Amino acid sequence: EPEVTQTPSHQVTQMGQEVILRCVPISNHLYFYWYRQILGQKVEFLVSFYNNEISEKSEIFDDQFSVERPDGSNFTLKIRSTKLEDSAMYFCASTDEDLYNEQFFGPGTRLTVL
Amino acid sequence: AQSVTQLDSQVPVFEEAPVELRCNYSSSVSVYLFWYVQYPNQGLQLLLKYLSGSTLVKGINGFEAEFNKSQTSFHLRKPSVHISDTAEYFCAVSDHSGGGADGLTFGKGTHLIIQP
């Protein structure tokens, strides 16, 4: 069964450093998403991406964040200058437009900012 | 804008007993409703969804949920739980306006603890 994959599973970085989190969505899907979950809190929507551009973004997704689909398979989230409060689990998801927004999630990347 | 409330952060249940996990939502427009499960160290897996039609929806692993528009609820139920059901359960909502571009709005999650 096709699945969303994410790498790395755990990323440790120093405050102020740039990180790139990688995702490979399900191959025939058209919409891609990033969410984050700070420890002990709810899963929060960051951004959706369709047709090589951002479709929707939340207030959390400020100028330090960017997304890119550099090739036909990868979907990345870049955090330009990490802060302590960026420490969280980051989930990638994808969906086919025919699936009524049933989103398929990856296993997540745990980002720890020191 | 939507919001989702899961009032119970933890629900302990004995094995083979029934369970109900509560979810209430608020939205000014029609919504799609979802329940996701997260097993330890894994991603979110879809349990079931309500899109339209019958208000009682059945999902995987013997779970079902009932959409109640007047009470704006979408409670998850299982008649007999197993140890393997121990996990975090998230209720989520999406409105109809943006199609596939919409992000899901999640509740805080309910940790289901099955006691032998």
pLDDT tens for each residue of chain B, 116 residues long: 789 999 999 999 999 999 999 999 998 888 889 999 998 878 899 999 998 888 999 999 999 999 999 999 999 999 999 999 999 999 999 876 656 677 899 999 999 999 98
* Predicted local confidence at residue B2, as pLDDT: 84
**Residue labelled with tokens 């596939």:** B100
Contacts B92 to A, Cβ<8 Å: 43
* Predicted local confidence at residue A1, as pLDDT: 77
Q: Which residue in the set A33, A42, A106 is minimally distant from B109, CB to CB? A: A42
Q: Measured between CB atoms, does A14 come within 8 Å of chain B?
A: no
* Predicted local confidence at residue A70, as pLDDT: 87
The arithmetic mean of pLDDT across residues A58-79, rounded, is: 94
Q: A98 in the Ramachandran plot: left (φ > 0), alpha (ψ -120 to 50) or beta?
A: alpha
* Predicted local confidence at residue B102, as pLDDT: 77
* Predicted local confidence at residue A99, as pLDDT: 60
Of the candidates A43, A55, A90, A61, the one whose C-alpha atom is nearest the C-alpha of residue B92 is: A43
* Predicted local confidence at residue A91, as pLDDT: 96
Q: Which residue in the set A56, A93, A99 is minimally distant from B101, CB to CB? A: A56
For residue B90, report the phi and psi dihedrals to the nearest 5 degrees: -120, 130
Q: Is the pLDDT of residue A101 over 90?
A: no
The arithmetic mean of pLDDT across residues A49-57, rounded, is: 91
Q: Measured between CB atoms, does A106 come within 8 Å of chain B?
A: yes
User: Could you tell me if B105 and A45 are in contact, meaning their C-beta atoms sit under 8 angstroms apart?
Assistant: yes
- The residues, ordered by sequence, that sit 6+ positions from B81 with a Cβ below 8 Å of its Cβ are B13, B15, B16, B17, B18, B19, B112, B114
The arithmetic mean of pLDDT across residues A71-90, rounded, is: 94
